[in-house]
Amino acid sequence: MSEIDLVRLNFTPASLTALNVILALVLFGVALDMKLADFKGIVNAPRATLVGLAGQFLLLPAVAFGLGLLLKPAPSIALGMILVAACPGGNMSNFLTHFARGNTALSITISAFSTLGSLFFTPFNIAFWGSLNPETARLLHAVALSPLEVLLAVVFLLGIPAVLGMSVAHWFPALAKRVHKAFKVISLFVFGAFVVGALAANWQHFIDHVGRVVLVVFLMNGLGLVVGYWSGRLVGLPERDCRATSIEVGIQNSGFGLVLVFNFFEGIGGMAIVAAWWGIWHILSGLALASWWRRRPPPQPVAVPA
């Protein structure tokens, strides 16, 4: 077992409770801007939506598992890669898709289904892919991970806040429209500040070991963006849709991953540092890719004469 597998980040039960509540408020704020119409988008673009969801919940976890076998990082790093890959899409994906001149409506539809799909796929992917690698399987057994407990946590931390936020948006649309931007910004800021504070309390561990996760996070994030884009191209999606599927697959909610690390994996250093560095890196890579695409407008579809 590697040294990083033995590192445990300090996090008190009170701090963990506060982190869970703040994450739930973040998801509530995000859901204030979600509508039932977002889910109906699959009717207009079923193939594109399925490509994005398959990339996010099937292909990216497989990529994380494959990189773990190929690169043979410390077991906690390999499991951290699987954990991040199993999380739903990140909160910035819709903004980045819009900035990249991608199909924002498709991005919103994929995000909506991703949030609900994570209720099943997040615990399933952690348990399934983690158990296939003998090194990560030992960590799963060591912490006695119960997929049912993870499912219940996802329901309470993601599912219920999302349903409550969407309910407020549906029944009180004027109120939701008035408060959702401020609520979302403030809750994300508080969540970010809380995570930064947690890292500051464990700063020496982060500095000592972050270099060991830079390469694996770079490769996994890059492959996620590539897989998301080319899976769309291979099935004939237009450029705007491919940009949306690329960003949806490559941008993951690593903040939720951190919450799972502290709730179920005892703050194992390798897993926490992967999730923390991913949260920094995917913003940088996402902004860089979106800026590059923004300078290259997608071709307009050619109208077919009647």
The pLDDT confidence band at residue 132, using thresholds 50, 70 and 90, is very high
Assess whether pLDDT exceeds 70 at residue 295: yes
> Rounded to the nearest 5°, which phi and psi values hold at 252?
-115, 155
How many Å apart are CA 10 and CA 114, to the nearest integer? 31
Across 18-32, 96-110, 185-199, least confident range = 185-199
122-126, 152-156, 264-268 — which one is most confidently predicted on average? 122-126
Give the Å distances, CA to CA, from 76 to 1, 68, 125: 9, 10, 16
Is 305 domain-assigned? no
Structural contact between residues 105 and 286, judged by C-beta atoms closer than 8 angstroms: no
Give the Å distances, CA to CA, from 119 to 7, 152, 160, 163, 201: 29, 8, 10, 12, 31
Is 88 domain-assigned? yes
- The model's pLDDT over 190-236, given as tens digits with 9 standing for 90+, comes to 777 776 776 666 666 667 777 788 899 999 999 999 999 999 999 99
Confidence at residue 306, expressed as pLDDT on a 0 to 100 scale: 42
Contacts of 178 (CB under 8 A, 6+ apart): none
How many Å apart are CA 163 and CA 17, to the nearest integer? 21
Assess whether pLDDT exceeds 50 at residue 305: no
Q: Which H/E stretch holds residue 4?
A: helix 3-6
Is 170 domain-assigned? yes
Is 2 domain-assigned? no
Give the global pTM. 0.83
**What average pLDDT does the chain have?**
83
Confidence at residue 198, expressed as pLDDT on a 0 to 100 scale: 66
Is 136 domain-assigned? yes
Confidence at residue 303, expressed as pLDDT on a 0 to 100 scale: 46
Q: Which residues lie across from 8 on neighbouring strands? A: 268
* Average of per-residue pLDDT across 52-66: 95
Listed residue (1, 77, 99) closest to 278, CA to CA: 77
Assess whether pLDDT exceeds 90 at residue 255: no
- Identify the burial level of 73 via C-beta atoms within 10 angstroms of its C-beta, where 0-12 means exposed, 13-18 middle and 19 or more buried: buried
* Average of per-residue pLDDT across 64-74: 93
Higher pLDDT residue, 106 or 42? 106
**How many domains does the structure of the chain reveal?**
1
Strand residue runs (E) in 28-109: none
Contacts of 84 (CB under 8 A, 6+ apart): 64, 220, 252, 254, 257, 274, 275, 278
Is 29 domain-assigned? yes
Assess whether pLDDT exceeds 50 at residue 304: no
Is 300 domain-assigned? no
> Any idea what the CATH number is for the domain that residue 146 is in?
1.20.1530.20
> Rounded to the nearest 5°, which phi and psi values hold at 268?
-55, 130
- The model's pLDDT over 265-292, given as tens digits with 9 standing for 90+, comes to 877 778 888 888 888 888 889 999 999 9
Assess whether pLDDT exceeds 60 at residue 7: no
* Average of per-residue pLDDT across 90-110: 86
How many Å apart are CA 131 and CA 145, to the nearest integer? 11
Instruction: Look at the block and give the residue holding tokens 């291979």.
Output: 234
Listed residue (288, 277, 286, 285) closest to 84, CA to CA: 277
The pLDDT confidence band at residue 25, using thresholds 50, 70 and 90, is confident
Higher pLDDT residue, 302 or 202? 202
Listed residue (197, 191, 212, 196) closest to 7, CA to CA: 212
Percent of the chain with pLDDT strictly greater than 90: 33
Q: Which residues lie across from 89 on neighbouring strands? A: 252
> Which structural domain range is residue 98 located in?
10-294
Is 222 domain-assigned? yes
The size of the chain, in residues, is 306
Higher pLDDT residue, 104 or 293? 293
* Average of per-residue pLDDT across 94-122: 87
Let me know the angle formed at the C-alpha of 279 by 274 and 284, rounded to the nearest 5 degrees.
120
